[in-house]
Structure 1
Amino acid sequence: MTGIRTGFIGIGSQGAPMAYRMLARFPLTVWARRPDAAAEFAQKGAAVAGSVEELGAACDHVGLCVVNDTDVLDICGRLVPAMKPGSLLALHSTVLPQTADAVEGLCSRRGIAMVDAPVSGGAPGAEAGTMTVMCGGSRAAFEQARPVFESFAALIVLLGPAGAGQKAKIVNNALMAANMGLAQAALQAGEALGVDREALAALVKASSGRSFGFEVYARIAQPRAFEHGAKMLLKDTDLLAAILPGSPDTAMLEHAAKSFLLRATGAAN
C-alpha cells in the first residue's frame, strides 16, 4: 500500500467494487448509513468511520458515489468542512453539472481539490479495474486524483472544468439508453419478419449494427429484467433533458431511449 489515505462513501453495487480496488493499494476508510454495509470492508482491513465528518478528517482522497443530487449536497455539506486543506474530493455520482459546480465551490473555499469523476463500466468494470473515469476539474486536481483512479480504471480522461465530467457521462448514458431502445425496435422488427431472435442477435453482434447497448438488450429475456439499470439510465436521460432542453438532438436521444426505458421500469402500458 502507498501512503495516500483514501476514503469512500457510497459502497453500493458500483461503489463497493471501486472501494475494494482502492483498498488493495491504499489505506481505506469507509462510511455507510447501514453499519452492516461496512462490515465486510472492516473484515478485509478497511477502517470504518463513525460519521461522515470523521471520514473526511482522516483522508487525503475521498470518493463519493451516492445516487442523486440531494444526497450529494447533503453529504458534502458535512464532509467538506471536515476535510483538510490540500486533500481531494472525487465526485463519482452522476448528477447535474450545476451540482458539481456547487461542490467545487464549496471545496475551493476551503482549499480542497475537487474532481467531478463519474464512471462507466459498472460493477464488472470496477472489479476488473477497467472502468472509464470522465473527469472535470483543474489539471492539478486531475493529476492529484489519478493514482487513486488508476486502482479501478483503465481510461481516465480530463474533459474540462468541474461539471464537464457530468455532461459527458449524461450524454454517454443517454446514447447507451437510446441504443437499447433501437436494439428493441430492431429485434422486434426481425421477429415480425419471421427471423429467429437469437440468430439475429448473434448476427448483429458480429456485424455493423452492433453496439454495447445492443449487446446488453440482446441478452435480457424481456425489458423488465433490466429494471434496476433502466431506472438509473432513465434518471440520466432526464438529466440530459434538464441541461439541454429544446434541442432536437436531446429529443432524438430521449425518444429512442424512453421507448425502452419506460417499458423496462413498468412506466409504459
Structure 2
Amino acid sequence: MTKETIGVVGVGLMGQGIAKNLLAANYPVTVIAHRNRGPVENLVALGAIEVSDLKDMAAECSIIHICAPGSPQVETIVGALLPALKPGSVIVDCSTSDPTSTVALAKSLEDVGCHMADAPLGGTPVQAENGELATMIGADAEVFARLRPVIASWASATVHIGPCGAGHKMKLLNNFVSLGYAALYAEALALSRKVGISVDQFDSVIRGSRMDCGFYQTFMGYAVEGNREAHKFTLTNALKDLRYLEAMADHVALANPIGNAVKNSFALASAAGGDGPEDYVPHLVDFVARQNGLD
C-alpha cells in the first residue's frame, strides 16, 4: 500500500504541532511558505518539504490538512488547490468552519473525484505539540477509515460524528458550551466584586467543587494567576464561532436566546478593543469588568 503524502496549510499554533507529529510518524510532509518563518523553518529542519504555491502542494500530496481562521480562508485555499489536486485526494479542514460552507466545498471536490472531511480540533497548542488533540470528524465511512491512521499520529481522541459537515456542527456545539462558560464566569466575577467578594474568594469556593472543570481552571489561570496565555484562543475567533453557531441555529429555525447572549458578550468585548491577536478568551473578564465600572 502506498504511503499517504501529507500537506499542512497553516502551521500556526495548532498546525505546527500537527505537522510535527505527522513527521514523527514518518509521513512525508509538505508545508507552505508563511509570513511567520519560525514554524516553517522548524518543520523543514525536522524533514518537511516547503513549497511556495498551493498548486505545488496539491500536485504533491494525497491528504491535505487546513488550519485556517474560518470558512472564508478555507474556501480560498480549497479554490487554489482544486485545479491541481490528484484524483482521490482528501482535504481535511481542521478549522472551526461554517458547516454549510463545508458541505458546499465537499460537493465541489466530489465533482473532480476528490473528498472533503472536517476534523475540527479540541485542545491547546501544548496538546497539539504532544500529539494529544481531540477531533470530531465528519466524513464518509471509507474516507474516515483512510484518514484514521493519519489522524492518530496527532490526535489521542477521535470520534467519527457522521458525514461531511457533522464534525463542524459538533465543534460549534462544543464551543457554544465552553464559550458560554467563559461569558458566565466573566459576569459572575464582575458581580462578585461588585458585592464585595474577591476573585480569590470566588475561586476558593468553585475550585474543587462540582462546578469545577478543566475549562474553568484554564480560564481562571488569568483571573487568579495573571497568566495571559493560560488559554490561547482569541476573542476574535470566539466571536466568529458564535456567529457560525447563530447561522446554524437560523438554518434550522431554532430560537437560541442563550447563544445570542453569549455572542453579544464577546461582541461587546470586541467592540471595546478586544480584537487583537493576543486578546484571548480569559481576558473577557477585563472587558466585562470595565463595562461595569471596575478596574
How far does residue 255 in structure 1 lie from its aligned partner after superposition?
0.9
Are 2:121 and 2:134, in contact at CA under 8 Å, matched by a contact in 1?
A: yes
Count, aligned residues: 267
Distance 1:33 1:6, change over 3 A: same
Matched, 1:84 2:91: no
Are 1:227 and 1:264, in contact at CA under 8 Å, matched by a contact in 2?
A: no
Report the equivalent of 1:182.
Answer: 184
Matched, 1:247 2:254: yes
Are 1:180 and 1:216, in contact at CA under 8 Å, matched by a contact in 2?
A: no
- SS of match in other structure, 1:162: coil
Report the equivalent of 1:266.
Answer: 272
How far does residue 207 in structure 1 lie from its aligned partner after superposition?
0.8
Rounded to whole Å, the distance in 2 between the matches of 1:24 and 1:125 is 15
- SS of match in other structure, 2:168: helix
Structure 1, 239-248 or 213-222: larger mean CA deviation: 213-222
Are 2:199 and 2:223, in contact at CA under 8 Å, matched by a contact in 1?
A: no
Identical amino acids, percent of aligned pairs = 27
Matched, 1:150 2:152: yes
Report the equivalent of 2:101.
Answer: 99
Rounded to whole Å, the distance in 1 between the matches of 2:233 and 2:156 is 25
Distance 1:63 1:202, change over 3 A: farther
Aligned match for 1:162, one of 158, 161, 164: 164
How far does residue 30 in structure 1 lie from its aligned partner after superposition?
0.4
- Matched AA of 2:32: W
How far does residue 263 in structure 1 lie from its aligned partner after superposition?
2.8
- SS of match in other structure, 2:104: helix
How far does residue 169 in structure 1 lie from its aligned partner after superposition?
0.8
Residues 99-136 of structure 1 show CA distances to partners (whole Å, capped at 9, x for unaligned) of 11122112212222321111111312211222111111
How far does residue 212 in structure 1 lie from its aligned partner after superposition?
3.6
Mapping for residues 33-112 of structure 1, pairs under 5 Å: 33-34=34-35, 36-37=37-38, 38-112=40-114
Report the equivalent of 2:241.
Answer: 236
Gaps of 5+ in 1: none
Report the equivalent of 1:11.
Answer: 11
Are 1:175 and 1:253, in contact at CA under 8 Å, matched by a contact in 2?
A: no
RMSD: 2.5
Distance 1:35 1:178, change over 3 A: closer
TM norm structure 2: 0.82
TM norm structure 1: 0.89
Gaps of 5+ in 2: 274-286
